[in-house]
Amino acid sequence: MFAAKAFSPFENLASQLIPHAYEGDDGSHDLAHILRVFKNAMRIQAKEGGDARILAAAVLLHDCVAVEKNSPLRSKASALAAEKAAGVLTELGWSPADIGVVEHAITAHSFSANIAPETLEARILQDADRLDAIGMVGAGRCFYIGGRMSSLLYDPLDPSGENRPLDDRRYVIDHFQTKLFKLADGFKTESGRALAAERDKRLRDFLAAFMDEI
């Protein structure tokens, strides 16, 4: 499979897992997202350590169950993905111990699940995934998801939400304040925090330019 080559040095693992890696038509949680998270994870792992094979499997399967952002099941998405991942890896002959580490990393990566990552691989996956939610890519994904949810770009009378409750389901740019600007403070690895600081600045610069234009 051509796509698997992008996940070097885990091409064989990727060829096995990509068919299970994502579902549906969500362009913010597709193969491109998985590949970006993989690159982030490998960049962090190179400095922080951890089992790269375990981490690669967790990255490839972390979004293997699709749950829309506005679904009442959203907080359970990572647990559902972990359960599916365990089944896939069991069929591939992985040991129960290794599967357990992958399961925990997947379950704990989600912001909405609010589960503390207890292993290095889980901390790296969480950081790698959250890096894709900030910076310029994060801004692009935010607007893309807003379009899927039929949200408005902003409140024309009070864009910054100074005199109204923030509502990121109705206004896309409210999501910057309700979630995206909070992410950089929660990174779990030193390498992840350094990368997050750069991307957080880009995200804040983007919103400042956006507000200037409107």
Q: pLDDT tens-digit profile of 121-145?
A: 999 999 999 999 999 999 999 999 9
Contact 161, 96 (CB under 8 A): no
**What is the residue whose two structure tokens read 């770009």?**
153
Instruction: Please state which CATH number belongs to domain 133-214.
Output: 1.10.3210.50
Measure CA 69 to chain center. 12
DSSP summary character for residue 22: -
DSSP summary character for residue 152: B
DSSP H or E run through 7: none
> What tokens does 168 get?
């990121």
The pTM assigned to this predicted structure is 0.93
Question: Taking 70 as the threshold, does the pLDDT of residue 168 lie above it?
Answer: yes
Q: Range with the lowest mean pLDDT among 77-81, 116-120, 188-192?
A: 77-81
pLDDT tier for residue 37 given thresholds of 50, 70 and 90 = very high
Mean pLDDT across 96-103: 97
